[in-house]
Amino acid sequence: MKELIIDSYYIAWRELKKYFRQKTRMIVTVIQPFLWLVLMGNAMSGLTSNPMAAQFLGTGNYLTFMTPGIILMTVMFTSIFSGTTVVWDRRFGYLDKLLAAPIKRGAIPFGKMFAAAVQGLLQAVIIIIVAILFGVKFQSGFLGILMILLIATLLAFILAGFSLALSVRIKTIETLMAVINLFMMPLMFASNALFPVNVMPKWLQAIAKVNPVTYAIVPMRDLTVKGWTQNVWVYTLIILIIDIIVMVWTNRVFKNATAE
Amino acid sequence: MSDAIIVENLRKTYSNGVEAVKGISFSVHYGEIFGFLGPNGAGKSTTIKTVIGLLKPTSGKIILDGHDVQKDPYKARLAKGYASQETAVDDRLTAYENIYLQGKFFHMKEEEIRKNAEELLKMFGLWERKNDLVETFSGGMMKRLDIAAALIHKPKILFLDEPTLGLDIQTRAAIWEYIRKFKESGMTIFLTTHYLEEADALCDRVAIIDKGQIMALDKPGALKSEIGGDLITITFANTGENTEKFLEAVKKIEGIKSVSKMKNGIYSIVAEKNGDKMIPELFSLAPEFNVQINSVRLKRPTLDDVYMKYTGRTIREAESSRDENMKNRMITRRAKR
């Protein structure tokens, strides 16, 4: 166990070292959520002047409704591409080098998942700061903000793990991108990240029920709009369980990575 | 003491049905340079990847430094260093970071890494560039860094998969020098190559591999002497009775196997060995028969001749398949960048 953690740390170290070296990538990841908040917040602000809509959203401020959604989306887009690093590593032989080293195999995905989570966390912190500057009030207070960050990190872990597990089988970046995009759309829209579930048609609501993104967004939104609800605890627990399942899965996939 | 690498009846069939390795056995002694020579696609990389545990063998047994690769993969992995033919260095990290990470992957202590990394980077002439991003390096520098990283934990056995593929002549010579130095320090080296001169220059023993099978295995010199002796071709200023008498006398020299006339007035003399020492004897004999020698050429058998003998084609012919050429070009391009 100790070795697994140490090995994962150095895998993550490598990813993060490279991440912080890419200035453009870092700046873009900061600008993107900023644009979302400004553009979407302004464009949709008319919506909340309709009292019916305000009731559905649970708040009089669309920006408040949107903020958790934007945190979630940014984290998703960062973490889901984690698998591309494995495809790339395989391309130039580094994956073989990792597999030939006496490290725990599971450390490869866990390290990369951890790196993705750190990147996601960083972005989430920036969005929250910007949102506060735009007048968004977090009902659950400072501890609630920490909880939001925790949930965002847990979600980053799930999505990164998912894409890493795929990357063991998928050998080209193009195919991996296509597969990821296939999953991204339903993950996004069949959740209440952008629109409340109540206003969705029944069939879409059914998909939203099994979508892990819903389980992340509900507690995040509750923490922002309502405060510490019971859903916060229940849904976070579900997210945690999904995290464990994904970790067991990726660990197995990478352990068998030489099985051919 | 047992051998550094023992491979018994190794077989590897890929899931798509390709039989890359068809039941080979060999062992590598401690402290020797052992070469796998063969064209691309002969099964060299598959063998090396199976031996170090990157691929699971279909059947067979592999012992690395006394550890069964399948039963005790951790210890087997600790005993060896591996530099793949793709030159697997992370070009967005610095040279030092690359080597440091490799040390960490082998669970070395911070101090030990620092000490070994300095020694290796200095040895490979990369110390001044240690804090530069690898993307600014030439292909040869990347290769040197890759080998240095493979050595960070001072492995007993070093695996080099095509260590000089796509490198220029000077870099290749430099890498050969390093490999000889490792050998002097007592390391066991297993390398694959499709360069005959590389196998010839470096290896204590060579296995010729073709289509997943070992066709021959011996010292390069022994393999070459199997082909026959040194070939001396000779021409004369004028031919006639004197020449015939002279050649009769040459036949009687000890160590000369045969003398035969070829076309265009060229005669060929086959010496069992030491053809170079035969040439002065020819010259000292010539005045006795009043013959004037015009030209003499000595050709020694090369591993290419050996390869030809065992596989029925030259390495270049074996490599002419289009896919292999493409793959080669890709690697070469990366190496040259």
Predicted confidence (pLDDT) per residue in B192-246, tens digit: 988 888 888 899 999 998 888 998 899 988 887 777 778 888 888 877 788 888 8
pLDDT at A258: 62
Residue B56: which of A96, A100, A260 has the nearest Cβ?
A: A260
**pLDDT by residue (tens digit) across B172-199?**
888 899 999 999 999 999 999 888 888 8
A255 touches chain B (CB under 8 A): no
What does the block give as tokens for B46?
A: 């598959």
Range with the lowest mean pLDDT among A46-50, A207-211, B252-256?
A46-50
Looking at per-residue confidence, does B165 or B331 come out higher? B165
Mean pLDDT (chain A) is: 86
Calculated CA dihedral for residues A70, A74, A75, A80, nearest 10 degrees: 130
Average pLDDT over residues A140-157: 94
Measured between CA atoms, how close is B318 to chain A, in angstroms?
25
What mean pLDDT is predicted for residues A81-101? 90
> Which residue pairs, CB below 8 angstroms and at least 24 apart, start in B174-180?
B174/B140, B174/B144, B175/B143, B175/B144, B175/B147, B176/B201, B176/B202, B178/B123, B178/B124, B178/B144, B178/B147, B179/B33
Mean pLDDT of A77-100: 90
pLDDT at A246 over 60: yes
Q: What value does the mean pLDDT take over residues A194-204?
A: 78
Question: Could you tell me the CA-to-CA distances from B83 to A13, B40, B117, B326 in Å, in that order?
Answer: 22, 17, 16, 22
CB contact under 8 A, A17 and B78: no
pLDDT of B336: 44
CB neighbours of residue B318 within 10 Å: 20
pLDDT digits over B109-127, tens only? 999 999 999 999 999 999 9
Q: What is the mean pLDDT of chain B?
A: 85
Of the candidates A92, A97, A99, the residue with the CA atom closest to the CA atom of residue A253: A99
- For chain A, the C-alpha Rg in angstroms (whole number) is 19
Strongest mean pLDDT among A46-55, A183-192, B79-88: B79-88
Q: Rounded to a whole number, what is the distance in Å from the CA of B282 to chain A's nearest CA?
A: 56
Identity of the residue in B86, B90, B105 whose CB atom sits nearest the CB atom of A101: B105
Separation in Å, CA of A162 to nearest CA in chain B: 23
Q: Strands B213-218, B205-210: parallel, antiparallel or unpaired by DSSP? A: antiparallel
The tens digit of pLDDT for each residue in A53-81 reads 666 666 667 788 888 888 988 888 889 98
Task: List Cβ neighbours of B6 (8 Å cut-off, separation of 6 or more).
Answer: B27, B61, B62, B63
Q: How far is B121 from chain A (nearest CA, A)?
A: 19
User: Of the candidates A22, A100, A259, which has its C-beta nearest B52's C-beta?
Assistant: A100
Rounded CA gap, A260 and B14, in Å? 7
Which chain A residues touch B84 with a CB distance below 8 Å? 93, 96-97
pLDDT at B147 > cutoff 80? yes
Contact between chains at B56 and A14 (C-beta distance less than 8 A) = no
pLDDT number for residue B320 = 59
In this complex, the residue of A13, A21, A96 whose CB is nearest that of residue B84 is A96
CA-based nearest residue in chain B for residue A88: B90
The nearest alpha carbon in chain A to B16 belongs to A260
Q: Which residues in A lie closer than 8 A to residue B74 (C-beta atoms)?
A: 102
- Picking from A18, A96, A98, the nearest residue to B92 by CB comes out as A18
- Can you give the residue ranges of every domain in chain A? 2-255
State residue B109's pLDDT score.
94
Give the Cα separation of A108 and B226 in Å (integer). 49
Confidence of residue B327 (pLDDT cuts 50, 70, 90): low
Task: Give the whole-angstrom CA distance, residue A192 versus residue A258.
Answer: 40
**Chain A residues with beta carbon closer than 8 angstroms to that of B104:** 6, 10
Please check the confidence at residue B324 and state whether its pLDDT lies above 60: no
Question: Which of B49, B67, B107 should we substitute to test contact with A (largest number of A Cβ atoms within 10 Å)?
Answer: B107
Q: Which of A11, A96, A254 to mutate to test the interface with B (most CBs of B within 10 A)?
A: A96
- Residue A254: its chain B contacts at CB < 8 A? none
The region that residue B125 occupies, defined by phi over 0 for left and psi between -120 and 50 for alpha, beta otherwise, is left
Q: Where are the alpha helices (DSSP H) in A80-172?
A: 83-91, 94-100, 107-133, 141-169
Q: Inform me whether the C-beta atom of residue A93 falls under 8 Å from chain B C-beta atoms.
A: yes
Residue B291 confidence class, pLDDT cut points 50, 70, 90: confident
B337 pLDDT more than 50: no
ipTM confidence score: 0.85
Q: What pLDDT is recorded for position B152?
A: 94
DSSP structural state of residue B168: -
State the Cα–Cα distance between residues B299 and B301, nearest whole angstrom.
7
In the predicted structure, residue B273 carries a pLDDT above the cut 80? no
User: Among A97-101, A118-122, B63-67, B257-261, which stretch is predicted with the lowest mean pLDDT?
Assistant: B257-261
Whether residues A98 and B56 touch (CB distance < 8 A) is answered with: no
Q: What is the mean pLDDT of residues B73-99?
A: 91
User: Is residue A252 a contact partner of residue A239, using CB atoms and an 8 Å limit?
Assistant: no
Mean pLDDT of B69-74: 87
**Structural domains of chain B, with CATH:** 5-224 (3.40.50.300), 228-299 (3.30.70.100)
**CB-neighbour burial class of residue B329 (10 A; exposed 0-12, middle 13-18, buried 19+):** exposed
